[in-house]
Amino acid sequence: MRDKVLITGASGFLGYHLINAALEKGLEVYAAVRKSSDISHLKALPVKFTELNYKDVAGMEKIFAEEKINYVIHAAGTTKALTQEEYDLVNNIYTQHLAKAAEKNKAQIKRFVYISSLAATGPSNNFEKGIQDNAVPYPVTAYGKSKLNAEIGLKDTDIPVTILRPTAIYGPREKDIFIVTQTLNKGLDPYIGKGVQKLSFVYAKDMAEVAVNALLKTGPYSIYNISDGREYSRYEYADIVKGLLQKKAFRFHIPLGILKGFLYVSDRINKSLKKASPLSIEKLNELTAVNWSCDISKARAELDFTPQYDLRKGLEESLEWYRSNQWLK
């Protein structure tokens, strides 16, 4: 009998890659989706679908018991909300509810893997030194704080827990970083301010692989930084994309003060409309940070994490997918 893994956020960009990685490992996959989720791209995969009500701990306990779930990869969450409370509800409180439901079935639960974010630690202010796994967390956004709160809450869970803190994840089906690629394809290459930066990335397939591998490891509560192990200049992503697309793009820098003024007005409008935006004044704290590179030596040693994709290789495969699926024209 195969072990069973519950993957939350299964209909999302990362969820798709997690499902494929779990299937390749021979696991039986239970894909947690919402009623409103588009799962057309998952219909051909040999998975079982389930709906979770994160407010109903008892209901989730029943699902764990009846389906005899052995593992959890919790990738569901939100990156856009209007308030800290909204971020905490989805990213923290719902995570604790899911963990409590799993804990009630701890005799059969072998590991709970939580997909957190490097935003939970916050960027490094030292241009020469990247983010360490044991760095004192200092998140600079409400999103990062909510992820950190979830991590802290999971420390008291009486089941084995592994925390993964990925940097920016990109790859086929991703939509947010893809906006940068679309903009470059249209001939524009914008930046916020002129300061130097170090960035990091991880390809979705590498991220999914390490998440599934983490399920099969033993040990207590642990936290791991996840990236492709390299660091990139602020212009490197654009330079690679332009080269692969064989296109030129006009590079320009938007003064930080002007953008803050625009976002101040935009934030007030969005709040009055109760509409969350991917770009806000607060988000500038992440977008303009000096150093998002990170040390992954612990993940290499303890999770056997060996990234197969650097940024160029990952973008080559991504652009091929976006073109063939007519996302990029």
DSSP structure string for 117-174: -GGGT--BS-TTS-B-TTSPP---SHHHHHHHHHHHHHTT-SS-EEEEEE-EEESTT-
Radius of gyration for the chain, computed over Cα atoms and rounded to the nearest angstrom: 20
| Distance in angstroms (rounded) separating the CA atoms of residues 250 and 239 | 12
Amino acid symbol at 257: G
pLDDT score for 173: 94
pLDDT interval class at 230 (50, 70, 90): very high
In 3D, which of 52, 205, 80 has the Cα closest to residue 146? 80
283-323 pLDDT, tens digit per residue, is 899 999 999 999 999 999 999 999 999 999 999 999 999 99
Maximum Cα–Cα distance for the chain, whole Å? 60
| Distance in angstroms (rounded) separating the CA atoms of residues 233 and 215 | 33
> Superfamily for 4-174+201-229+292-310?
NAD(P)-binding Rossmann-like Domain (3.40.50.720)
pLDDT score for 143: 96
Q: Among 62-71, 211-220, 301-310, name the one with the lowest average pLDDT.
A: 211-220
Q: Residue range 133-144: average pLDDT?
A: 95
* 231, 171 contact by CB (below 8 A): no
Residue 270 clears pLDDT 90, i.e. is over it: no
Position with higher pLDDT, 167 vs 34: 167
pLDDT score for 254: 94
pLDDT interval class at 264 (50, 70, 90): confident
pTM, two decimals, is 0.95
pLDDT score for 125: 87
pLDDT interval class at 3 (50, 70, 90): very high
Residue 13 clears pLDDT 80, i.e. is over it: yes
Amino acid symbol at 13: F
Task: Round the average pLDDT of the chain to a whole number and report it.
Answer: 94
pLDDT interval class at 50 (50, 70, 90): very high
Residue 59 clears pLDDT 90, i.e. is over it: yes
